[in-house]
């Protein structure tokens, strides 16, 4: 079996072989990484202020080699990481920890129905992305533009896949962890030194030194790197982050049967002519001995309605277009990627009260209805155009500039049947929602004292 790193190397190797096979000097696939749109890049620098790891620091992978020097114990790193994750003193406001947005009671997702969570030094700043759950990321590949699945070696390029963040921007958990600590709209620390100073005063400072070495807090930049590594290891704790204890897992293990309605929901979920959900939200084990994570990690444009309540969206002409920017700048020239966001896992989705990258929806039932009738009843989902020659027409896929709306996916379930009927009727939508509720962790198998143990 391949681990995540081998998988990435393999994908890169296949991609470079494929590139060599093409009889042209410079394959166009790399053009996007060279031709940057300066305006988009400037905006992305704003989002990643200098000093935020991942944006500007070419030596970031020193973080892993630092481990070789100090040999920290994994269990101790996880224990310190947990304390950091819940520590509100590590924020500019003193009132916000990672756990404020990523609440363990909600599968490390948002604890309320707000589209986006407030942060910043005075807790009055908003970003424009919904908080994702941090569970079930353990098999996520690093971002790649050309993904080849070694388990199903069809040689087919599955396109942009993987990476942390809705747009796949961050390659590792420690890079991702650095961002919220310094982002002005989140934990709002002024600098890495600012964080290191708070860390030296933390109740667990001695434990931090015991774990990473006596000098671990002496140098600000190094202390910051150790901190992000501790957070990364905490997020690799199987019991916390990939327990596989849902009713659906118990049914896969043969410990319980799904109800009739749940089984029907699973059927529509998988059926390519009906929900076709499993084509992106994988529902069967990808290989023996693993459990399905309900995402293929692909980045796709669904045409989710614009959330006009988000502060950046109040600016006319501003669009969060995911993979093509403006929050990531490296693929700005690839207009075909505009509107694409990473397919989230649907595990624990019934615990959420806010859905999609922009938090435009607040009800799971409504999300599934959106899939069923986005293209058959667009007036229900999108506003009408106020002025100009198209006045009164429905502004379909309104969270993308008009010229880029062609990027939106039209496979089932979006495309209706030939006679115009939606792929899912009301009962089938209800069934799918019932099935999605079997994906919540912590299910207790009848007759057993505790939730079943994880196997993966």
Q: Residue numbers of the site for ligand HEC (CB under 6 A)?
A: 96, 98, 100-102, 117, 119, 127, 129, 131-132, 134, 164-166, 173, 176-177, 180-181, 186-187, 231, 275-277, 279-281, 300, 302, 304, 341, 343-344, 346, 349, 352, 355-357, 367-368, 371, 409, 411, 413, 432
Residues 6+ apart with CB under 8 A from 139: 4, 290, 293
Quote the longest CA-to-CA distance of the chain: 71
Least distance in Å: CB of 139 to ligand HEC? 13
Nearer to ligand HEC among residue 307 and residue 452 (C-beta): 307
Name the token pair of 125: 């700043």
Least distance in Å: CB of 73 to ligand HEC? 20
Other Cβ atoms within 10 Å of 290 Cβ, number: 14
Least distance in Å: CB of 452 to ligand HEC? 24
Nearer to ligand HEC among residue 146 and residue 353 (C-beta): 353
User: Apex CA 390: angle with CA 387 and CA 396, to 5°?
Assistant: 105
Nearer to ligand HEC among residue 291 and residue 436 (C-beta): 436
Helix (H) or strand (E) holding 118: strand 118-119
Residue with tokens 């202390």: 223
Nearer to ligand HEC among residue 227 and residue 452 (C-beta): 227
Least distance in Å: CB of 195 to ligand HEC? 9
Nearer to ligand HEC among residue 15 and residue 351 (C-beta): 351
Separation in Å, CA 422 to CA 268, 361, 418, 431: 13, 20, 10, 15
Nearer to ligand HEC among residue 15 and residue 323 (C-beta): 323
Nearer to ligand HEC among residue 205 and residue 444 (C-beta): 205
User: CA 248 to CA 431: how far, in whole Å?
Assistant: 14
Least distance in Å: CB of 110 to ligand HEC? 8
Least distance in Å: CB of 316 to ligand HEC? 21
The phi-psi region of residue 430 (left if phi > 0; otherwise alpha if psi is between -120 and 50; otherwise beta) is alpha
Least distance in Å: CB of 181 to ligand HEC? 5
CA 298 to chain centre: 10
Pair 212, 72: CB distance under 8 Å: yes
User: Apex CA 141: angle with CA 115 and CA 59, to 5°?
Assistant: 95
């Amino acid at each position: 079996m391949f681990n995540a790193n081998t998988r990435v190397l393999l994908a890169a190797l296949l991609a470079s072989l494929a590139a060599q096979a093409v009889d042209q000097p410079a394959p166009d696939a790399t053009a996007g990484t060279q031709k940057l749109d300066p305006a988009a890049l400037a905006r992305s620098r704003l989002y990643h202020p200098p000093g935020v790891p991942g944006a500007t620091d070419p030596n970031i992978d020193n973080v892993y080699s630092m481990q070789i020097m100090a040999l920290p114990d994994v269990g101790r790193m996880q224990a310190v990481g947990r304390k950091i994750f819940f520590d509100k003193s590590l924020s500019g406001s003193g009132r916000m920890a990672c756990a404020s947005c990523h609440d363990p009671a909600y599968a490390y997702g948002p604890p309320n129905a707000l589209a986006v969570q407030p942060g910043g030094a005075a807790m009055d700043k908003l970003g424009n992305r919904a908080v994702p759950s941090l569970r079930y990321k353990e098999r996520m590949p690093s971002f790649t533009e050309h993904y080849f699945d070694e388990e199903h070696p069809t040689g087919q390029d599955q396109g942009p896949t993987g990476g942390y963040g809705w747009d796949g921007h961050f390659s590792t958990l420690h890079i991702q962890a650095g961002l919220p600590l310094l982002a002005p709209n989140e934990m709002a620390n002024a600098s890495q030194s600012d964080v290191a100073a708070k860390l030296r005063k933390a109740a667990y400072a001695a434990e931090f030194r015991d774990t990473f070495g006596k000098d671990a807090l002496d140098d600000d930049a190094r202390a910051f790197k150790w901190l992000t590594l501790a957070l990364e290891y905490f997020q690799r704790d199987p019991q916390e982050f990939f327990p596989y204890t849902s009713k659906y897992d118990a049914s896969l293990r043969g410990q319980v049967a799904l109800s009739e309605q749940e089984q029907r929901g699973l059927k529509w979920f998988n059926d390519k002519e009906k929900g076709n959900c499993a084509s992106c939200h994988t529902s069967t084990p990808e290989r023996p001995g693993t459990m399905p994570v309900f995402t293929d990690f692909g980045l796709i444009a669904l045409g989710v309605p614009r959330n006009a309540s988000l502060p950046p969206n109040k600016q006319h002409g501003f669009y969060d277009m995911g993979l093509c920017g403006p929050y990531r700048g490296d693929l700005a020239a690839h207009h075909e990627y505009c509107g694409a966001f990473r397919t989230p896992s649907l595990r624990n989705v019934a615990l959420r009260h806010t859905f999609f990258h922009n938090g435009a929806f607040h009800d799971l039932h409504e999300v599934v209805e959106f899939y069923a009738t986005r293209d058959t009843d667009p007036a229900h989902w999108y506003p009408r155009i106020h002025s100009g020659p198209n006045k009164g027409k429905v502004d379909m896929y309104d969270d993308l500039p008009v010229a880029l709306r062609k990027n939106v996916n039209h496979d089932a379930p979006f495309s209706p049947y030939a006679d115009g009927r939606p792929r899912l009727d009301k009962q089938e939508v209800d069934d799918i929602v019932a099935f999605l509720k079997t994906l919540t962790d912590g299910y207790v198998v009848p007759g057993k004292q505790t939730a079943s143990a994880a196997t993966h």
